[in-house]
Structure 1
Amino acid sequence: MLSWLAVCCSGLLHINAAYKGPRWQFYLFKPLTILLMMLIALVGGEANVYTYLILVGLLFSLFGDVFLMLPKDRFIPGLLSFLIAHILYSVAFWQQFDGPMIWWLPSLIGAASVIVFLLLLPNLGPLLIPVGIYIAVIAQMAWGAGEFWMNAHSQTAAYAFGGALLFMVSDTVLAFERFKGPFRASVLLVMSTYFCAQGLITLSVMP
């Protein structure tokens, strides 16, 4: 419980610093929040392939966080880091799936992803292909987590699916902020859903 309290405090300090400063607090607490989740998964998670995939996914998320918050923006390396994280999460979720496919689920997720892509399309420019690939990867990650939950109906699967859906929300808001223009509540929306997504995915490794 105290470890999760530390995660919450760290995340809130980062969000607060994004609006009010100081800058050192902004740079420190974003990666620290993910690092704390990695430690929770490492200490409390089961020693299996699923946990290891989630841990490495968190590590690449940490790399992505650092790239995206650097004063000199490293958007492409950040995008690539999160792309790898989503692929690792996807492998973890699909490995847990064992049962009949629920075909309406990818239809809903795919339709939502296409709508987001079309709304962003006029502003993507040379990033059209990388962003399109990223949207496709995160959509199939959510699909994998959803199939896992629809078949297992376990708490672990519920955490995984909830985390994947929140990740989609976070990345969608981030994409609109970057390509359509910033708005005051964007940091709060992006980071609160992002930290909750990573927290739920971390919880999915707990026995």
Structure 2
Amino acid sequence: MWVWLAVSFSALLHINAAYRGPQWQFYLFKPLTIVLLLATAFQFGSGDFYQQVIVAGLVCSVVGDIFLMLPKDRFVAGLASFLLAHVVYSFAFWGELAAPIVWWLPALLGGAGIIVYLLLLPSLGRLAIPVAVYVAVILQMTWAAGEYWLTTRTGAGLAAFAGALMFLVSDTLLALDRFRGNFRAATGSIMTTYYLSQSLLVISVLLR
């Protein structure tokens, strides 16, 4: 219980600082929130391959967070870090399949991804290919998490799928804010869904 209060408090401090300051609070609590989740997964997990891979994905996420919050734009480096995190998470999810693949899920996710990408495309410029690759990888990660749940019907699988979906929502909001125009609620919406996604992935470790 206490660890989740600490995670929630840290996340709220970061989001509040994004709007009101101080700057040191913004820089401290963004990565600290994920570090707390990482420590939780590491300490309370079962020690199996799934836990180890999720922990590795959280480490990549911390690196990505640091790149994205630096004063000088490190968007591509942050994109690469989270791309690696999604690849790592995918290994964990695909390793849990317990039945044949459900093919309607990738069709649904792929259709949604194409619509979002086409909406972003006019504003992407030289980032068109990197963003396309990123979209494909995060959709594949979400598909893998969905298959994990659909083929096992476990609480851990449901938490993983919900976390992947939240990650998809968070990254979509981030892309829309960056490439289609800023909106005031962007930071709060992006970071809330992001922290929820990572928390749910950690919960999927704890439920095993």
Q: How would you bin the TM-score normalised by the shorter chain?
A: over 0.9
State how 1:1-207 maps to structure 2 within 5 Å: 1-206=1-206, 207=208
Whole-angstrom distance in 2 between the partners of 1:63 and 1:112: 28
Structure 1 residue 181 displacement after superposition: 1.2
Whole-angstrom distance in 2 between the partners of 1:62 and 1:182: 24
TM-score w.r.t. length of structure 1:
0.99
Whole-angstrom distance in 2 between the partners of 1:80 and 1:168: 16
| 3-state DSSP of counterpart to 1:175 | helix
Whole-angstrom distance in 2 between the partners of 1:99 and 1:140: 18
| 3-state DSSP of counterpart to 1:72 | coil
Structure 1 residue 10 displacement after superposition: 0.2
| 3-state DSSP of counterpart to 2:205 | coil
Whole-angstrom distance in 1 between the partners of 2:78 and 2:145: 23
Structure 1 residue 78 displacement after superposition: 0.4
Letter in 1 for 2:101: M
Structure 1 residue 73 displacement after superposition: 1.3
Whole-angstrom distance in 1 between the partners of 2:31 and 2:21: 16
Q: How many residues align?
A: 207
Q: Specify every segment of 5 or more residues in structure 2 that has no aligned partner in the other structure, as ranges.
A: none
Letter in 1 for 2:202: T
Q: Specify every segment of 5 or more residues in structure 1 that has no aligned partner in the other structure, as ranges.
A: none
Structure 1 residue 98 displacement after superposition: 2.2
| 3-state DSSP of counterpart to 2:38 | helix
Structure 1 residue 85 displacement after superposition: 0.2
Whole-angstrom distance in 1 between the partners of 2:147 and 2:60: 24
Letter in 1 for 2:124: L
Whole-angstrom distance in 2 between the partners of 1:79 and 1:158: 26
Structure 1 residue 166 displacement after superposition: 0.4
The superposition leaves residues 119-142 of structure 1 with CA deviations (integer Å, 9 ceiling, x where unpaired) of: 000000000000000000000100
Percent identity between matched residues is 56
Whole-angstrom distance in 2 between the partners of 1:28 and 1:181: 27
Letter in 1 for 2:109: I
Structure 1 residue 101 displacement after superposition: 1.3
TM-score w.r.t. length of structure 2:
0.99
Whole-angstrom distance in 1 between the partners of 2:157 and 2:39: 21
